Amino acid sequence: MLQKLVIRNYAIIDYLIFEPGKNFNTLTGETGAGKSIILGALSLILGERADTSVLINKTEKCVVEALFDVRNFQSFRAILRENDLDDDEQCIIRREISTGGKSRAFVNDTPVTLHLLNSLTSLLVDLHQQFGHLALEDDRFQMDVIDAIAGNEKLLLEFQEHYREWQRCSQQLQELQHRQEEWQKEADYKQFLYDELAAAAFAEHEIEEAEAAQQKLMHSERILSVLESSVAQLEEGEQPMLVLLKKTLQQLQGIADVVPETQPLALRVSGAYEELKDVAAELGMLRSNIDLDPAGLLKLQDRLDLAYRLLKKHALKTTADLLALQQSLGQELQATQNLSMDIETLRVKKNEVFEQARALAVELSKRRHAVASTFSDRVNERLQWVGMPNSRFAVELSEVKTLQATGQDNVHFLLDANKTGQMLPVYKVASGGELSRIMLCIKSLTAEAMQLPTLIFDEVDTGISGEAARQVGLLLQSLGKHHQIISITHQPQVAAKGSTHFFVYKDITPEGKITTRVKQLNDEERIKAVAQMIGGEAPSEAAFQSARELVA
């Protein structure tokens, strides 16, 4: 709901504050007083483009600021949060036009683009100076109207939940099938690589251990010769070291009682003897383990040749790398098999969800068809009231080939404006004033069922008078019981039905410049204003009496 509109330095308005009531507000005043200028300023809030031509004072910027009560408008506040804008019970929207022509827009003091501004304010204000045509051209709006009349809100939400799940399943299935196609192109080759590695059956660290064993086998004769020579020199030759060392030890021990200084030396020789004895024993064991096996060397070489070929083929270096590749290929091949099962499972789920969604779509369609004719009759009845007696309105519902977000139907509002016998889309055959009146008739029927923004009608009563104007006033009054309505009117029958009456007029500033002002009228002022709309600047007593009756 619009709580306050503040306009500074726009067209002929130097400064103006407009605070509409929460129900049906009427704006009256002489032609040229500035009613449309106020709407022009409001259109800046709605994202319309502007330049410096709107500046009354070329040395100061133009500022238009609107304050909206959004405490119960949860979907709007959710959009604020999605766009990282401050969320509060009140929303302040401001538009500034600088002296250089630069335009800036703010939502709760945060700069926003005109595109985002328009998206937000279209939820807050429905201006039937420009929006009526677009709404009647919008298939989604027409569907919303029919669903509101049919009471489809809960059923539609249930359908849309299944519809979104069906779309998610369809998208996931498409992605999995694409992935399967891509994997299938390489599956045979990957299977060959995996089989090749599996057939090789390398053990952990096998290549590195085989390389070490190969080195031993290749040098086994020289190694064996060195080991045998070493053992012989220590304990098996003509004068083995161990025998000589043991003899030296015995001699030192023999003179230890005569030369005590030899005792430490004897101990050292004894340690050397024991150490060499151990060395000789270990050399002997190594000698016994050396295997002169040409056949084994050839077998080992074949194994290493296989390993080197696979390492080079895959640009790898170690046994661990080959084993990791084998494991990875195995996982990919298993994933391909699992993917096939996942695709089949998802295909079954998708079909189940689709059938559930289609059943709900059929029920939605039944309800829509059930109310379409009655709704058309009620709109036609109201068209008679608002001065369109030759018009015939109809709702056309057609089935679509595949499900869409609103079900299995397309809806179109059709009109025969002059009894031609040809029904065409409303927006193609109705004039601007007729579009506004048609929208008024439609929204008066959906007022209680649909959440509507602030509705602004700019001279919706143009071209009608008498009873038709009175009926327009009654429809606006009825609509105002559930929504905030602002109507610019020249018809006393309409002005008298407002819950709040504003008078727009021109005034002269202290500087001698003409500016637009707006004033909320009290009861007596309101009766006088309506009387002047009936009888001119100096209304008669009869005009006053008629004004009192209209207001009453």
Q: Which of 79-93, 168-182, 189-203, 232-246 has the lowest mean pLDDT?
A: 232-246
Max mean pLDDT among 180-189, 191-200, 258-267, 401-410 falls in 401-410
Residues 203 and 286 in one domain: yes
- Amino acid letter for position 361: A
pLDDT per position as a tens digit, 402-416: 899 999 999 999 999
Q: Crossing angle of helices 220-231/262-289, nearest 10°?
A: 150
Question: Which tokens belong to 250?
Answer: 């015995």
Select the more confidently predicted residue: 517 or 219: 517
Reply yes or no on whether the pLDDT at 290 is more than 80.
no
What is the count of structural domains for the chain? 3
Check residues 9 and 275 and name the one with the higher pLDDT. 9
- Residue 448 CA, distance from chain mean position: 31
Element containing residue 394 per DSSP (H, E):
strand 392-404
- Would residue 39 count as lying in a domain? yes
3-state secondary structure of 28: strand
Angle at 480 between CA 476 and CA 483, to 5 degrees: 125
**pLDDT category of residue 528 using cuts at 50, 70 and 90:** very high
CB 26 within 8 A of CB 500: yes
Domain of residue 19, CATH code: 3.40.50.300
Both 494 and 535 in one domain: the answer is no
Cβ contacts of residue 506 below 8 Å, gap of 6+? 12, 30, 32, 33, 34, 514, 515, 516, 517
The pLDDT of residue 287: 63
Asked which of 311, 337, 363 is the last residue of a domain, the reply is 337
Structure tokens at 49: 């483009």
* 486: CB partners within 8 A, 6+ apart: 2, 20, 25, 27, 454, 455, 456, 457
Residues 241 and 115 in one domain: no
User: What are the residues facing 126 on neighbouring strands?
Assistant: 455
Which two tokens mark 82? 């999605």
- 541 with 497, same domain: the answer is no
Last residue of a domain, one of 283, 312, 337: 337
Let me know whether 120 and 186 are in one domain: no
- The mean of the pLDDT values for the chain is 85
pLDDT in tens, 428-478: 888 777 888 888 888 888 876 777 788 888 877 777 788 888 888 888 888
Does residue 32 surpass a pLDDT of 90?
A: no
Last residue of a domain, one of 321, 337, 353: 337
Which amino acid, residue 380? N
Instruction: Return the SS3 of 433.
Output: helix
Asked whether the CA dihedral 353, 358, 361, 367 is positive or negative, the reply is negative
Task: Say if residue 538 is in the same domain as residue 507.
Answer: no
Segment 324-348, tens digit of pLDDT: 888 888 877 676 767 788 888 899 9
Is position 369 within any domain?
Answer: no
- Asked, for residue 402, whether it belongs to a domain, the answer is no
**Residue 45, domain member (yes or no):** yes
pLDDT of residue 473: 87
Residue 230, helix vs strand vs coil? helix
Print the domain residue range for 311: 182-337
Within a domain: residue 246?
Answer: yes
Question: Do 192 and 332 fall within a single domain?
Answer: yes
Both tokens assigned to 322: 């080959």
DSSP classification of residue 93: E
- Residue 131: its pLDDT value, please? 42
- The mean per-residue pLDDT over the stretch 120-140 comes to 69
Q: N- to C-terminal Cα distance for the chain?
A: 26
Highest mean pLDDT among 181-190, 310-319, 432-441, 498-507: 498-507
pTM: 0.62
Do residue 11 and residue 57 come from a single domain? yes
Q: How confident is the model at residue 291 (pLDDT cuts 50, 70, 90)?
A: low
Helix (H) / strand (E) element for 277: namely helix 262-289
Examine residue 549 and state whether it is found in any structural domain, yes or no. yes
Same domain, 258 and 209: yes
Q: Are both 511 and 541 inside the same structural domain?
A: no
Residue 547 and residue 511 in one domain: no
297 near 214, Cβ under 8 Å? yes
Q: Is residue 410 part of a domain?
A: no
Strands 110-112, 103-107: pairing kind: antiparallel
Contacts of 399 (CB under 8 A, 6+ apart): 365, 408, 409, 410
Percent of the residues in the chain that have a pLDDT greater than 70, as a whole number: 91
Same domain, 247 and 288: yes
In a domain, 36, yes or no: yes
Tokens of 25: 């507000």
- CA pair distance 352, 216, nearest whole angstrom: 69
